[in-house]
Structure 1
Amino acid sequence: MSLSNTDPVLILGGSGIVGAKAAQILRRLYPDLPIAIGGRDFAKAQSVADEVGHAQAVKIDLERDDLGQSANTNYSAIVVFVKDATLNSMKYAQTHGLPYLSVSSGVFEVGPEMALAISKPNAAPILMASNWLAGAATFPALQAARKFKTIDDISITVVLDEEDMGGPAALADYERLTESAPNPLLLVDGRWQWVKGDDAKRAFVDIDGTTVESTPYSPLDVLGLSTATNAKSIRVGLVYGTSASRRRGDHFSTEIAIEINGELTTGEHVATRIDIVHPKGQAPLTALHVALGVERLLGLHGGEPVKAGLYLPDSLMNADYIVDRMKEFGAVFQENVKPAVG
């Protein structure tokens, strides 16, 4: 199927590190899919568009309802890599009936997006993909969870190397989500709790056996995993510092540890740990998951184009397919299963 006559996918923040990487992955997956690189700096956006190929640069003004676009401009989807406090990008998508994907909101600040989506339920498909790396922890956890009859606890610990922050927009997101946010949201013994960070810090042994401190964190993974697995407790913890690979003298990596305790469908009580490492850091995995979200929204894989509604990533995409793609794009998986203690 040729996509050359399809309207472009507009990537807001497409000239940033992760946005540009997402455009490159979309181009790798779909060589003839038109792409528009949107940003405030037209020259920077043009440079990325030239590199991606079959792409155009677009100057974006998030202060305007029309995003600064002419009335005869058409897009096939809107992808947002920046925090749009105006929600004008989402309103634009609803006005034009376009699939919309965002990645920059914490649990504590999704209310305005949800309210806007609920107020116009038939306007557009809204994919809220503000999970860790847009789903890089959620989908492997869901795949592993299928082996369990009941789950007592899911603990996800992510390692963000301090040299792997990305650009200014990513830094702003990190500071807002970790410094300006209220207490993190965790599921503890079946009850949702906003916990104080100092009270919920934990020691974490990373993939190389080094003990570091993990601080509770609240991406949207806690919401999706709670509904998909019925786990009694769910925690996401963040380690910000030095990744195991950089400690060894190599390039920084991104690391995700998924620990699941519970009863397998075979009746055994086990503790499973899956370590996921990408040797190039967080950008490739984030970009990949966004690209796969766009793929699904447009109906390029996994079914027909998604109908209007409000979605989390796990409600639209197949975990096995996503995990296979993660491995194809460089993620390394290591699993260890042992009898549960207690």
Structure 2
Amino acid sequence: MMKEMTEKVLFVGGSGVVGSCTVKLFRERHADIPILIGGRNLEKARAVARELSSAEAVDVDVDKPGLGLAKDVALAAVVMLVPDEGLKGLALAQEKGVPYLSIGNWLVEVGAEMAHFMRRPQASPIVLASHWHGGTAVFLTQASVTSLDTVRSVKVGAVVDELDATGPAAIADMKRGSEGGIGILAFKNGHRVWLSGAATTRTINAVDGRELEAMAFAPYDVVSLHAMTGADDVRFDIASSVSSSRLRGGSIATELVVEIEGEVGGKTQTRRASLEFTRGQATLTGVSVVLTLSTVLGLEGQPPVSPGLYFPEHLINAEWFLNELISAGATVLKED
């Protein structure tokens, strides 16, 4: 029988659009674990806390050591749902020896997290989950390449409904994730490339087959997919348009289409996988974060994760993850 957890899970940014979805989903999955909802606007944080049991709002300052919290606060994990610009959240987690999970820092910034981990590799589990929707495309790809001997190309197309209320912070993060000074990272012909100019545009297909103009983007997915598949070509593109669901009279949806080329027995094979989620981007991201966080804390039938540096796919079985998304309302299709 699992011992009751009395330490509190701190959600920094837990009153924002994505943050409040994540906190509520965590509470639905784990009814009794104490929660701290941290934010700059204490009234907003209190409003979210009032909707939940065993939840408390706290004032946090991402520019202060320890996030400005009392030194004796007992934490079970630090979850950064906003950018950890000065890595004060990471330092707090390492100081207390508890898991750290971040979805707010992008690929062009990851060197700082790596340096902090290397200085204190045994301090705590560090999970970098700033993948698109917390890793959905990576898991979708992982489940689709198992029958291939070799993977040559992985191209991900994401469709954001133009009416999806992701919130100002999410839009700002997406824009910052595309910045790096020298272009947008992809892999082409077996080499890292930095896309710029016309090379950043590509036509992608929506779930319903429509062709949409998209722009290259470089979340953690790009390096995760390259490491996982060994593909010579990897890129990720995003289009903003009317989602397929809304076009056919349904709800606002977020979409992913993964196109894969590889070989089986020396013969070229293609795979196509898609995911459609009609509860919005914020909820899909929240579900993914909760699944990863629950796994790290040992709440999904496995022991808690040991100290280390991880992406979500290092910790979670792809089929289990996708089945959980389906239970949450996603439609997943895999085609040979």
Deviations 1:132-162 (A, max 9, x none): 1111111111111111110111111111122
Post-superposition CA distance 1:226-284 (Å, at most 9, x none): 222212211111112332223344332100001111123x6653211111000122112
Write out aligned runs for 1:1-342 (5 A).
Answer: 1=1, 4-178=4-178, 182-264=182-264, 269-301=268-300, 303-337=302-336
Query: What CA distance in whole angstroms lies between the structure 1 residues aligned with 2:18 and 2:200?
Result: 30
Query: Matched residue pairs, number?
Result: 336
Provide the secondary structure at the position in 2 that maps to 1:6.
Answer: coil
Give the letter for the 2:76 counterpart.
Answer: S
1:27 aligned counterpart, secondary structure: helix
Structure 2 Cα separation of the partners of residues 5 and 85 of structure 1:
29
Question: Partners in 2 of 1:71 and 1:116 — Cα distance?
Answer: 21
* Aligned residue identity for 1:232: D
Q: Report SS of the residue matched to 2:95.
A: helix
Give the RMSD, CA atoms, in angstroms.
Answer: 1.7
Task: In structure 1, give the amino acid aligned to 2:8.
Answer: P
What TM-score do the two structures reach when normalised by structure 1? Answer: 0.93
Displacement after TM superposition at 1:197 (Å): 4.5
Q: 1:3 to 1:328 in 2, by over 3 A?
A: farther
Secondary structure of 2:149's partner? strand
Percent pairwise identity: 36
Distance 1:197 1:11, change over 3 A: farther
The answer to whether the 8 Å contact 1:202/1:214 transfers is: yes
Name 1:340's counterpart in structure 2.
none
Name the CA shift for 1:200/1:166 in 2 (closer, same or farther; >3 Å). Answer: closer
Runs of 4+ in 1 over 6 A off after TM superposition: none
Mean alpha-carbon deviation: is it higher for 195-204 or for 46-55?
195-204
The more displaced of 169-178 and 87-96 is: 169-178
Q: Which residues of structure 2 form unaligned runs of 5+?
A: none
2:276 aligned counterpart, secondary structure: strand
Say which SS state the counterpart of residue 271 (structure 2) adopts.
strand
Map Cα deviations across residues 175-215 of structure 1 (whole Å, 9 max, x no partner).
32236764111111211111115214211221222211121
Structure 1 portions without partners, runs of 5+: 338-342
**Post-superposition offset of 1:294:** 0.9
Query: What secondary structure is seen at the aligned counterpart in 2 of 1:52?
Result: coil
Task: Give the whole-Å Cα distance in 2 for the aligned partners of 1:240 and 1:182.
Answer: 24
Match of 1:67, SS?
Answer: helix
TM-score (normalised: structure 2): 0.95
**Residue 197 to residue 128, structure 1, CA distance change in 2 (3 Å):** farther
Q: Residues 300-322 of structure 1: CA distance to partner in whole angstroms, max 9, x if unpaired?
A: 12532111111111111111110
Distance 1:197 1:127, change over 3 A: farther
Q: Which moved more, 1:301-310 or 1:83-92?
A: 301-310
C-alpha distance in structure 2 between counterparts of 1:5 and 1:313, whole Å? 23
Q: Tell me how far apart the structure 1 counterparts of residues 53 and 306 of structure 2 sit (CA, whole Å).
A: 29
Q: State which drifts further: 138-147 or 225-234.
A: 225-234
Distance in 2 separating the partners of 1:251 and 1:182? 38
Instruction: Name the aligned partner's letter for residue 83 of structure 2.
Output: K
Choose 200-209 or 217-226, whichever is displaced more: 200-209
Distance across 1 between alignment mates of 2:35 and 2:141: 31
CA contact (8 A) 1:185 1:194 kept: yes
